Amino acid sequence: MSQTTTPVTSTVVLKSWKAPIAFGIFTVVSFVIFILLNTGASTNFRLSTESDFIQLPAIDLPALGTGIFVTALLFAMTVLSFFFSNKGKSSPIWMISAFGFFFMVGFLTWAGADGSILIPGLLLGTVGLSIPLIFGALGGIISERVGVINIAIEGQLLAGAFVSAMVATLTGSPYLGLVSAMVAGMLVSFVLATFSVKYLVDQVIVGVVLNVLVLGLTSFLYSQVLSKNTAVLNSPPRFDRIDIPVLSQIPIIGPVLFRQTLIVYLMYIIVAVVAYALFKTKWGLRLRSVGEHPMAADTVGINVAATRFWNVALAGAIAGIGGAYFTLGSVGAFQKEMTAGAGFIALAAVIFGRWDPIRATLAALLFGFASNLQNVLSIIGSPVPSEFMLMLPYVVTIFAVAGFVGRVRGPAAAGKPYTKS
């Protein structure tokens, strides 16, 4: 989100061919896969589960017919996109979304041929896998916008997961567990902030060391303490799912978005608040100025060190909630290394989302969708080898970053310690 507009002289028309070329490649892929390599007869799409308020009938899509229809549609959009680019306009966002949607319909019909896909299940899993990534990415955005590179997201998630499981078990209250997860994430942040703001240590190195430290510490305590007293220390109560009246009865997306636990609703609020506050409030302006040009901020009387310290702490608290999701929201008991690299994917989402809360959330959702797609397809038996399927989310992320994001510019002063001269 660059705040400055580059002056473009009226005689130069910049033609970007990225979108039409990408569309063209995907159209060729869909022609080859959906039509030439088509094997099955039809795919059954189930749109509602037994517990849904409104029952939608299942749809059977013929595999070959859908393949031809989708390919034709994609071809039409590619032509339209070339037309736009030739005139010097960029392809509208609705067209990119529609292209993605129809490609996905074609892909699911091809890959799920002769099987049955439960659409709400696919989406529910997507949200489930994305939530820790979203919290982690928000923590990363706040920290990097204020000028401190946050590699320690993984450590903050893991610390949150560990402490929330233990506190919730001891007190019997998931709410206290959630609060303690925020404190745990904040403590990790305090170390990061102290070393990078006060002692000017290389932020990347501190972050990496913190990840290893938290991993080692939680694994050690898990083996030595938790696993020996599971009943007293590691069997936390989970948050109950809360149905939001009316909204949870919307077909397909209702149960996915509005029949969730407190942590998920908290995520909606935090994403909205951070997105608003970062760009529309005094707090956000100060935070970004410290991350872009700390000397200028200092000149106008902003305390750079304190701003950085406390906002990094806030970032840790938010990432800590993501950690609590692993235990109190999803799986229950803490397990060794249970975050399984989610913090690093969150870091990718920060860059993919160009340090913007909404875009980073969408990036995290894309990753969650790709992960769950992989899962669903490998269950119904896809023709692709399992090891390759496990790569799918990462491949999608690389394509998305390379194809649709391109060059990104982070906060100018991120990673650079500031000293008053």
Partner 1 sequence: MGIFSRKVAISSAAALGVVALLAGCASAPADEAADGGSLALPCMVSDSGGFDDKSFNQSGFEGLTSASDELGVTPITVESAAETDFAPNIQSLVDQGCTLITTVGFLLADATKSAAEANPEINFAIVDDGSITADNVKPILFDTAQAAFLAGYTAASYSTTGVVGTFGGMQIPPVTIFMDGFADGVAYYNEQNSASVKVVGWDVAAQTGSFTGGFAAGVEAKTAAQGLIDQNADVIFPVGGPIFLSAAEAIKDSGKNIPLIGVDSDAYVTAPDIKSMFLTSVLKQVGVGVADVTIAAADGKFSSAPFVGTLANGGVGLAPFHDYASKVNPDLQSQLDAITKGINDGSIKVTSPSSPK
Positions touching partner 1 (CB under 8 A) are 49, 51, 116, 118, 121, 124-125, 128-129, 132, 216, 219, 223, 227, 230-231, 235, 238, 241, 326, 330-333, 335-340, 342, 371-372, 375-376, 378-387, 389-390
Q: What is the number of alpha carbons within 13 Å of residue 410 lying toward its C-beta?
A: 22
Please, what is the minimum distance in Å from the beta carbon of residue 327 to partner 1? Answer: 10
* Distance (Å, whole) CA 129 – CA 62: 30
- Which tokens belong to 334? 């803490």
User: Which CB atom, from 249 or from 378, has the smaller least distance to partner 1?
Assistant: 378
User: Which CB atom, from 163 or from 313, has the smaller least distance to partner 1?
Assistant: 163
Query: Own/partner pairs for 203-208, CB < 8 Å, 24+ apart?
Result: 203/148, 203/149, 203/150, 203/151, 203/415, 203/417, 204/149, 204/151, 204/415, 206/151, 206/152, 207/149, 207/150, 207/151, 207/152, 207/155, 208/151, 208/152
The answer to whether the CB of 328 falls within 8 A of the CB of 185 is no
User: Which CB atom, from 189 or from 339, has the smaller least distance to partner 1?
Assistant: 339
String of DSSP letters for 234-253: S-PPPPPPEEPTTGGGSTTH
User: Which CB atom, from 109 or from 307, has the smaller least distance to partner 1?
Assistant: 109
User: Which CB atom, from 53 or from 283, has the smaller least distance to partner 1?
Assistant: 53
Please, what is the minimum distance in Å from the beta carbon of residue 238 to partner 1? Answer: 8
Is the dihedral angle over the CA atoms 155, 160, 165, 170 positive or is it negative?
positive
Please, what is the minimum distance in Å from the beta carbon of residue 227 to partner 1? Answer: 5
Please, what is the minimum distance in Å from the beta carbon of residue 402 to partner 1? Answer: 23
CB environment 279-309: b (16+ within 10 A), e (fewer): eeeeebebbbbbbbbbeebbeeebebbebbb
Please, what is the minimum distance in Å from the beta carbon of residue 181 to partner 1? Answer: 15
User: Which CB atom, from 125 or from 207, has the smaller least distance to partner 1?
Assistant: 125
Q: Regarding beta strands 242-243 and 259-260, do their DSSP bridges make them parallel or antiparallel, or are they unpaired?
A: antiparallel
Please, what is the minimum distance in Å from the beta carbon of residue 87 to partner 1? Answer: 44
The answer to whether the CB of 28 falls within 8 A of the CB of 103 is no
User: Which CB atom, from 62 or from 332, has the smaller least distance to partner 1?
Assistant: 332
Please, what is the minimum distance in Å from the beta carbon of residue 171 to partner 1? Answer: 18
